[in-house]
């Protein structure tokens, strides 16, 4: 596959995603919408009772926004977009027509992940920009994040969203079903992972959880999640496994299934 073909196939994948109004609407809500609502709410609280509620901006609230965009609402948005990218061709029946063009199945699979990541990051970038504006605009007397922290936080959000989008593409391509993929991934990331992280008797076994590894490399003060700590090298290895294995399984399924 030439670079031109790869570029036009990724553009076609992005077209499919961005023309899906429901998907775009929910993704906007889970990223930009959440940031606007939270900072807006905090600003109104502060304005209504300055003595009781601190300013809506500043480093503390920036910290919350970054975590929300990385492993909470941003994660849901990435799963939503990645699932759509992974399942759209299969569920619509167009996968068969794409295979009939003679283009290799691996090519058809591997353009899904960059498209999903690019679309997710476009929303995250806007949401992060809004969060940054609010952080400084509503900071009042509170300290504000440094340029280094801003850049590192942006990188961390991009890392979180990219891994989650790729994971959803892989699982979506494996199951071929939007419903199954969304239920499994949101159930795992939002419910099961938090449950497992709180079970201290699991000890080091929790290091293998994606959220534990992601929060281990977060650039914010306070670092990882609760009592789950691991070496950065282990966290990087865990993240690599979560990024690569689902994609490999999705690629295998795309390669071997009847179209």
Partner 1 sequence: MTTTSENIIETRGLTKRFGQRVAVAGVDVSVPRGCAFGFLGHNGAGKTTLIRLLLGLTQADAGTMQIAGRPIPQERAQVLARVGAIVEEPHFHGHLTGRENLRVIAAARDPQAVSRIDGALQRVGLSDRAGDRVRTYSQGMRQRLGVARCLLAEPELLILDEPMNGLDPGGILEFRKMIAELVGEGRTVFLSSHLLDEVEKTCDAAAVIDRGRVIAQGSIGELVRSEHAELEIGCDRPELALDLLDSHDGVAAAQRIDDGIRVTLSSNDGAASINARLVQGGVAVFRLTPVRESLEQRFLEITSQIGDPQ
The contact set with partner 1 (CB under 8 A) reads 2, 4-5, 8-9, 11-12, 15-16, 19-21, 88, 92-94, 96-104, 107-108, 258-259
Task: State the nearest-atom distance from the C-beta of 111 to partner 1, in Å.
Answer: 9
* SS3 at position 19: coil
- Report residue 248: phi and psi, to 5°: -65, -40
Is 44 buried (19+), middle (13-18) or exposed (0-12) by CB count in 10 A?
exposed
Task: State the nearest-atom distance from the C-beta of 30 to partner 1, in Å.
Answer: 20
User: 99 or 190, CB closer to partner 1?
Assistant: 99
Task: State the nearest-atom distance from the C-beta of 183 to partner 1, in Å.
Answer: 22
Task: State the nearest-atom distance from the C-beta of 148 to partner 1, in Å.
Answer: 40
Q: Give yes or no for a contact between 217 and 201, defined as CB atoms under 8 angstroms apart.
A: no
Task: State the nearest-atom distance from the C-beta of 7 to partner 1, in Å.
Answer: 9
User: 19 or 52, CB closer to partner 1?
Assistant: 19
Extract the tokens encoding 218. 């977060």
User: 97 or 227, CB closer to partner 1?
Assistant: 97
DSSP states of 66-80: HHIIIIIHHHHHHHH
User: 12 or 129, CB closer to partner 1?
Assistant: 12
User: 81 or 108, CB closer to partner 1?
Assistant: 108
User: 24 or 234, CB closer to partner 1?
Assistant: 24
Task: State the nearest-atom distance from the C-beta of 169 to partner 1, in Å.
Answer: 17
Per-residue burial over 167-182, b if 16 or more Cβ lie within 10 Å, else e, is: bbbbbbbbbbbbeebb
Q: Give yes or no for a contact between 207 and 213, defined as CB atoms under 8 angstroms apart.
A: yes
DSSP states of 178-231: HHHHHHHHHIIIIIIHHHHHH-GGGGGGGGGSHHHHHHHT--STT-SSTT----
């Amino acid at each position: 596959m030439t670079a031109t073909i790869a570029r036009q196939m990724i553009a076609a994948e992005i077209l499919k995603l961005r023309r899906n109004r429901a998907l775009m609407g929910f993704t906007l809500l889970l990223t930009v919408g959440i940031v606007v609502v939270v900072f807006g709410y905090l600003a109104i609280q502060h304005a209504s009772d300055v003595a009781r509620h601190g300013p809506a901006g500043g480093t503390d609230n920036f910290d919350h926004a970054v975590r929300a965009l990385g492993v909470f609402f941003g994660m849901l948005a990435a799963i939503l977009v990645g699932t759509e990218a992974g399942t759209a061709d299969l569920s619509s029946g167009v996968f068969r027509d794409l295979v009939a063009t003679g283009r290799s199945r691996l090519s058809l699979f591997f353009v899904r992940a960059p498209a999903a990541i690019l679309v997710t990051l476009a929303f995250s970038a806007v949401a992060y920009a809004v969060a940054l504006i609010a952080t400084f605009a509503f900071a009042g007397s509170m300290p504000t994040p440094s340029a280094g922290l801003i850049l590192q936080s942006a990188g961390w959000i991009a890392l979180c969203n990219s891994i989650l989008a790729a994971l959803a593409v892989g699982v979506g391509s494996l199951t071929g079903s939007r419903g199954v993929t969304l239920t499994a991934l949101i159930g795992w990331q939002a419910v099961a992972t938090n449950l497992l992280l709180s079970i201290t008797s699991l000890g080091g076994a929790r290091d293998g959880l994606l959220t534990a590894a992601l929060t281990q490399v977060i650039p914010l003060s306070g670092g990882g999640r609760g009592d789950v700590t691991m070496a950065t090298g282990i966290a990087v290895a865990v993240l690599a496994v979560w990024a690569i294995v689902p994609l490999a399984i999705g690629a295998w399924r795309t390669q071997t299934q009847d179209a």
